[in-house]
Structure formats: structure tokens, C-alpha cells
Amino acid sequence: MKNMRIRTILGLGFNLTILIIIVSIIVLSYSESKKVIELIEDVVIKDEIENGLKLLDVSGADLEQWAIDYAVWDDTYNRIDDPVIDLEFMDENFGDWMPEYYGVSTLYLLDRNFDIVYSYDGSQELFNILKNSTFIQNILNVHEYNYALKYHGLLKHEGTLFQIAISPVLKSDTSGPNMGLLILLKPIDKELITTFEETTGRHYFFTYDSQLLAVNGSFNINNDDIMSFEGIYKNESHIYTKSLLTDINGNQCGYLGIQKERSIYNNTKRLLIKNAIYILLISLTLLAGLRFTMLKFVLTPIKEMENQLGAMDQSDSLAHILIKGPEEIITCSRTFNNMIDKLFDAHKTTESLTLLTNTDELTGLYNHRYIFEHFNSLQETKKEPIYAILVDIDRFKMVNEAVGYNMGDLYLRQVATLMKDIIKIDGTIFRYSGEIFLALIPEMTEITIYNVAERIRKGIESAAYFKDYNLHFPITASIGIAAYPDDGLEISEVLLNAEYAINYSKFNGRNQITRYTSNLEHSINKELVDEYQEIEHLIDSVMAMAEAIDSKDSYTGKHSHSVAEVSILIAEKLNFNQIDKDDLRIGALLHDTGKIGLSDAILHKKDQLTPAEYNIIKSHPKLGYNIVRHFVRNKDILACVRNHHERWDGRGYPDQMHGDRIPLFARIISAADTYHAMASQRPYRKALSNKKIIQEFRAHSNTQFDPKIATIMIDLINDGSLNYLDQYDT
């Protein structure tokens, strides 16, 4: 009996011990699970408040881009210093447009003395605050736009929190000097919060000056607690956190916060409690006969869960729980695994937002903002040297003006595609700005880098896509190369030196590659810069003059451009270099300048001209020469204007030159001009057939035309080189 009591006591003690062990394991498992779940909650909500800050920065960057679009613009730059303000321009582009389409509530356009040129809904008190801001005063000293810096932020005034963006007033090519500032203010309102919530599916709010700005209903927390809590605040139903916001002057101006329901946490907690009760009841009911079963099917899975959760806690990492056991424990592990999946989804959302922030919308390449981050990552991996290849599309402004901005955008996308096809996985490509592209390529030899750059240059120059539309000037690129660490220990220094190399390429005729050296900056002298700028102005004048000429004699369509195209084909047969071909093209575009001074009645007369009228027509070469010589000094170009009606036999006009005494450029223009006249529809006759045109060139070779050039014209007609011109002669 005594032994039985002892065995009973021992059995009860054993059962009680097992029961205590079971209860302890349940409590420990619940405690560890709760800690891990709360850890996940904290990590997720911190990620989501970071997403909110990124969205706020993206919104500010968008406002800054609007400021850049209107401040870094020749139209604004040229008007800001006018003694009489062009109010119609200001109202149309600032006061009427920006508030309605961009939600701007206040704007100031200031000159370089910080005087107001134009404002919209701006008070004197607010202006004084802006005037005293060191942040804004520093931007007034920016004379070339630096995309690596932020010119946007926050500002609080009279109980309202604003997004503010500032841009220096510069030329369209981002050069200076700075003529003033454009300041835009946009209030942070519920519409912005709605945008955040639609993007992330989370409830954000702003607090400042004891104010709460939110969209989705009331919060399960009183206003005092919202204003006062730090870090992370939790109650039974919701979890909150907020991040301090500072204004452009470094002063605290409020908080960005987020509220999130704790449904997963509470469901998991209830499930854990429920499972604990189930396990305890099963333990009490079946402890005597099912100790082995409990050990195998309940305690072991719980212990395994505890081990896996403890391992995660120790390694500070998260992973799925792999558990076999009763349905309740499997359900618990599935709930935990679902929370892990949601955390991973939150990280994916963060990665997507980061990609969106760093991608250029037009080309799909990385944008200027990502250059510095990527360069730092290459530095950390010790991949040296790191070469920077800058590719600048030559005269891209004229491309846009000639074929339209939509076609210009297509050109940029084609260049991006071409560079990706050439560089592939060896480097990373960025849209540096406007028409400039950047490739960062690590761990290559100098010769290999130069070959890559040459393939890009030739690819742009010879691409069939570009040749279909380059009626005015060929599409080419000037390329500059610099390297880290040889040419700079910071990416900004390397890129600046690559820009020096690009400028050297442009000043020396474009369509070439320059490797930066330390003497390069000193070799770009003022005379070379002045000559380059003079050529740019000449090209702009030529394009405008050509349009004016063709508009006077509209029945021939784009006559000057067609004559230029035929002339270039002849020049290629004569092995002209690129400089001579460019001069010839300018001469062809200007050859009929004198018609600007002739009567429309004579130019458009359908009947035969009288002798007096014909003499007036014959005066146009001299008249054109007298116009063009005021802005062109090149003798070959001037000869195209004055002597394109001279004849090989000396019976032409105005100077009765003959043979080789006629400048070669003028002989080429004469043949191209005559061809286009014969190939065009006239009011008094149809266009001549190719057969008839060939007969005319053969008949007048050695009398009207240089025989060598006449032979080239016949070859061009026979091989079909001139057929494509038909589509432009309308």
C-alpha cells in the first residue's frame, strides 16, 4: 500500500512535472512568438514610414522639376531683366498655368537683386521669410545647374506646411550667369496624403502646430498622444510611428506619421492563446495515457517552433517556419509565414519605389540622381579603373526644331537602345541630362574603352534610323572620356573633366572622341570658344533664312533643303571632307537668299516673263550676296550665293565667269539647283522624267555645266540615289 502510495505520489509528481513543463513551454513559446511578431510589426512600419518619406521627396522633386522647366528656359532668362515686365507672358506661363495644373498656391519670380519681378498670391511677410533664408540665398549664387543637389524641401508659414522648390534662372542649356530665382510653394494637403495612400495602401498623416492632417476617418488615439509620442506607439488595435520633418533652414516643422491596424498581430495572439488552451486541456485530459503521443505530436513541434523563432531572434533574420504537427500548430505557423510574406512584399514595394525614383521616364535608363549611388557601389567593390563616357548629341536643338519634339524624343530612345546594345552588361548607362548620356564602365583597358566610344560614335553617325530624317544636318555625337581615379577622386570631378573633353570635341568640329588630359582645359582658348559660338549663331541664321527663302517660292516645296541634299551627294562623289560638306550645305541653303527681295508677283507669275522682269530675276544672286556677306565671311559659301548661275562657257550671270574660274562650290550648286528645277512640278509644266533630265545634262555638259559634275549627276540619277527626295518636295 505504501509502495502504491509512493508510486501514486511519484506518478502524480511526474505528471505534475510534465504538466509544469508543458505549461512553461507554452508560456515561453507564446512569449517568444509575441516578441518576434512585434519585431516584425516594428520592422514593417519603419519600412513604410521610410516609403512615405521617399514619396514626399519624390513629390518635392517633381515640384522642383516644374520650377526647372520654367526657370532654366531662355524665354524666362531673357525677360527677367527687362525694364518693362512682360505681364502677358508672366500670367500665361506662371500665374494662370501653375496654380491650375500643378496645384501651386504661391510663387515668386525674383531677379538677381532679390527684388520681386512677378508673384502670385504671395504676402510680404512670407517674402521676407524667404529673403532671409540662407538655403535660398545660396541658390542665388548657383550659375550652372547641379542635378546632384536638392533645391526643394519644406516650409511652415501661418499654420500651413508647404512643399517648396527653388530653381535658379538660367539659360536652357543650364549655363549662367544666374539671373534670379523661381520659388514655388505648394501646400501639403489631403490630396497629397491620398496619393501616398493610393501608392502604398497605407494610412499616412501629418502633424504640426498641434494640427492633425489625415484622410481616412478618425484615429484610435487622442490628439495629445499623437502629438507627444516618440518612436513607435501601440494600443490594442493600431500601431503608430512618425518621423521628424525639418524645413529648408534646418528647423523642425512637423512630423510625417503612419497608422496601421494590428489585425495580424491580434489574430496571431488570439490563435496562440487558443492553441495554448487546447494544448493545456489535452494535456490535462490525456496526460496519463498520452504522454508519449503528446511528446511526439505536440511538445516536439512547439519546441521546434521555439527553436526556429529563437534562431531567428539570435540571427536577426526572418524565414518561413517549417513545422509538422496538429492542425492548430500548422495554422499558427502558416499565419506566421503569411506575416513574413507581407514583410517581403513591403520590401519589394520599397525596391519598386527606389527603381521609380532612379529611372528616366523617356528612355528607361537610370537618371542623373542614381549616378552617385551607383558610383559609390563600384568604389566599395574596388572595381578600378572606372571610366566615364559622356555622349552629347550634336546640335540637338536644331533636330527638335527641324523634325519636332516627338521625333526628337524618338531619337533619344534610339540612342539609348544603341548604347545598351553596344555596352550590354559591361557597364551602366544613364541619361545625364537633356541630350547627354553617360556610361560608367569598370575594369576595362583604355584601348577597349576607346573602341566602345568609337562604336557608339559610328553607330549614331551611320544608323539607318537617323539617316531617314537628317534632311538638314547629319546626326552625330561628341564624346568625352575621363576615368577614376586618374582624373578625379570624386565622381563630380570625373564628370566635370569628361565635360571638358566633350567641349573640346565640339570646339574642334564635333563628331569626335576626346580623352581628358590635365592640359585640356588650358587648350580650350577664348578664340576657339568664340569661333564655336559664331558657327552656332551662323547655323541658326541659315536655318531661319532657308525657311524664309522657301516660303517665298512655295511651289518648289523645301527647295533649298533639296538642293542641299543633292549638293552633298555630289560632294561625297568628289571626296569632300566633313568641314567642306558642312560649308557646302550652308551655301546650298542660302543660295536663293536674293529672292527675299523680289516681288511675289514676278516669282509666282504663270505666264512668260518680260525681258524687264527676267532682268529683275537675274539680279537675285547679287542681292543675295549683299545680304549674306553681312553675317558670313566664308568665301566658298558666298560664292554659292553669288555665282550659282554662272555657266561653264562664260555666258552666265552676274560675273560671266567660265570654266575652272567658277568656284567649285558654285558649280555644284548650279547642277543641283538645275536638277531640282527640272524634277519639280512647275505652274507652267509637269516635272521632267529622269530620262529627259539625263538628256539635258548630257546636252549641256561643257556649256552650262562642269562636265565632271554633269557626269556625277547622271550617275546619281541612274543609280537611284535621288529618288528619296520626291517625298520632301511637297
pLDDT in tens, 209-219: 888 888 865 56
Give which of 464, 490, 483 is closest to 475, Cα–Cα: 464
Amino acid identity of 602? I
Query: Where do the DSSP E strands lie in 425-557?
Result: 428-433, 436-442, 477-484, 513-515
Residue 116 zone, left/alpha/beta (φ > 0; ψ -120 to 50; rest): beta
Amino acid identity of 110? L
Domain definitions of the chain by residue range: 2-44+265-355, 72-188, 193-261, 370-522, 533-728
Q: How far, in Å, CA of 162 to CA of 54, rounded? A: 17
Report the predicted TM-score, pTM, of the whole model to 2 decimal places: 0.40
| Amino acid 590: pLDDT | 85
| Amino acid 552: pLDDT | 56
Q: How far, in Å, CA of 181 to CA of 168, rounded? A: 5
> Which residues, 6+ apart, have CB-to-CB distance to 518 below 8 Å?
none
> Which residues, 6+ apart, have CB-to-CB distance to 216 below 8 Å?
197, 203
Q: How far, in Å, CA of 532 to CA of 637, rounded? A: 17
3-state secondary structure of 242: strand
- Strands of the sheet containing 513-515, edge to edge, are 428-433, 436-442, 386-393, 477-484, 513-515
Q: How far, in Å, CA of 259 to CA of 75, rounded? A: 46
Beta-bridge partners for 428: 440
> Which residues, 6+ apart, have CB-to-CB distance to 687 below 8 Å?
678, 679, 680, 681
Q: What is the DSSP letter of 170?
A: B
Helix 559-573 / helix 526-552 crossing angle, nearest 10 deg: 120
Q: Which stretches of the chain score pLDDT less than 50?
A: 1-8, 10, 471-472, 526, 528, 555-557, 727-730
Hey, how many other C-beta atoms are within 10 angstroms of the C-beta on 9? 10
> Which residues, 6+ apart, have CB-to-CB distance to 300 below 8 Å?
325
Phi, psi of 483 (to 5 degrees): -140, 150
pLDDT in tens, 110-125: 999 999 999 999 888 9
Give which of 480, 450, 474 is closest to 461, Cα–Cα: 474
Q: How far, in Å, CA of 162 to CA of 515, rounded? A: 46
Q: How far, in Å, CA of 622 to CA of 643, rounded? A: 9
Cβ atoms of 343 and 318 within 8 Å: the answer is yes
CATH code for the part of the protein at 533-728: 1.10.3210.10
Cβ atoms of 428 and 364 within 8 Å: the answer is no
Pairing of strands 513-515, 477-484: parallel
Q: Give alpha helix (H) positions in 553-610.
A: 559-573, 578-590, 600-603
Burial (0-12, 13-18, 19+ Cβ within 10 Å), 192: buried
Beta-bridge partners for 477: 393
Q: In the CATH hierarchy, which top-level class contains the domain 72-188?
A: alpha beta
Cell 528656359 found at: 73
Burial (0-12, 13-18, 19+ Cβ within 10 Å), 610: exposed
| Amino acid 467: pLDDT | 58
Q: How far, in Å, CA of 72 to CA of 119, rounded? A: 18
Q: How far, in Å, CA of 687 to CA of 698, rounded? A: 18
Cell of 720: 537611284
Q: How far, in Å, CA of 432 to CA of 365, rounded? A: 10
Q: How far is CA 73 from CA 18, 176, 396, 435, in A?
A: 81, 11, 16, 15
Distance of CA 393 to the CA centre of its chain: 15
Cell of 584: 557646302
Maximum distance among all Cα pairs of the chain, rounded to whole angstroms:
152
Q: How far, in Å, CA of 119 to CA of 135, rounded? A: 20
Cβ atoms of 388 and 425 within 8 Å: the answer is no
CATH code for the part of the protein at 370-522: 3.30.70.270
Cβ atoms of 367 and 358 within 8 Å: the answer is yes
Q: What is the DSSP letter of 511?
A: S
Q: How far, in Å, CA of 352 to CA of 53, rounded? A: 15
Q: What is the DSSP letter of 459?
A: H
Cβ atoms of 246 and 154 within 8 Å: the answer is yes
Q: Give alpha helix (H) positions in 358-432.
A: 370-380, 396-403, 405-423
Sign of CA dihedral 607, 613, 618, 624: negative
Give which of 491, 493, 415 is closest to 457, Cα–Cα: 415
First to last CA, the chain: 123
